[in-house]
């Protein structure tokens, strides 16, 4: 299970590519993040100068710049907690007349684990992207699939968010 990083500083913060002061970094070396925004964290390491080095599940960057998943963040501007094991949303399968494929990993080339019938309600436990940048959500085992897997978001409608 991943950790959840939330920006708590009221002014937001900069995610940085180095431990230099933000004012000494170019536009492509930092990314401004508003207060209250959250990110799923793959890895967190203590760094110098009261920072964490975090690797996120998503890549971020300014327009026209490279996108990065690893950043330095000032410890006093964020709160990092273990992600809860509960669902984060309920969705219903739509526009999948022959059923929605559940995959082992995000991506249409991943092994198929089963199908969820059109009109079925499922709970969301995470999100990710495939190599083409398409969004997928993680679902746990249910009456249609014996193990957790991934489904494409384009076939889902959000019912509620926890």
Residues 71, 97 within the same domain: no
Indicate if 93 and 77 belong to the same structural domain: no
Place of tokens 């273990």: 82
- Quickly state the pLDDT bin for 86 (edges 50, 70, 90): low
Compute the C-alpha angle 89/125/54, nearest 5°: 115
Residues 122-145: tens digit of each pLDDT: 877 778 888 888 888 888 767 777
Rounded distance between C-alpha atoms, residue 41 and residue 33, angstroms? 15
User: CATH number for the domain including 51?
Assistant: 2.30.30.40
Quickly state the pLDDT bin for 40 (edges 50, 70, 90): confident
Residues 14 and 77 in one domain: yes
- Domain residues for the domain of 93 are 89-161
Number of domains within the chain: 2
């Amino acid at each position: 299970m991943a950790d959840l990083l939330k920006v708590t500083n009221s002014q937001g913060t900069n995610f940085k590519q180095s431990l230099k002061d933000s004012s000494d970094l170019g536009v492509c070396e930092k990314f401004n993040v508003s207060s209250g925004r959250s990110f799923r964290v793959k890895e967190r390491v203590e760094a110098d100068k009261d920072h964490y080095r975090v690797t996120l599940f998503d890549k971020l960057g300014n327009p026209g710049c490279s996108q990065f998943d690893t950043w330095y963040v000032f410890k006093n501007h964020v709160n990092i907690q273990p992600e809860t094991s509960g669902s984060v949303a309920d969705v219903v399968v739509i526009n999948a007349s022959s059923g929605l494929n559940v995959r082992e990993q995000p991506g249409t080339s991943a092994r198929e684990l089963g199908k969820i019938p059109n009109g079925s309600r499922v709970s969301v436990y995470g999100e990710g992207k495939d190599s083409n940048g398409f969004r997928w959500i993680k679902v746990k085992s249910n009456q249609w699939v014996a193990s957790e897997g991934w489904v494409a978001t384009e076939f889902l409608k959000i019912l509620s968010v926890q």
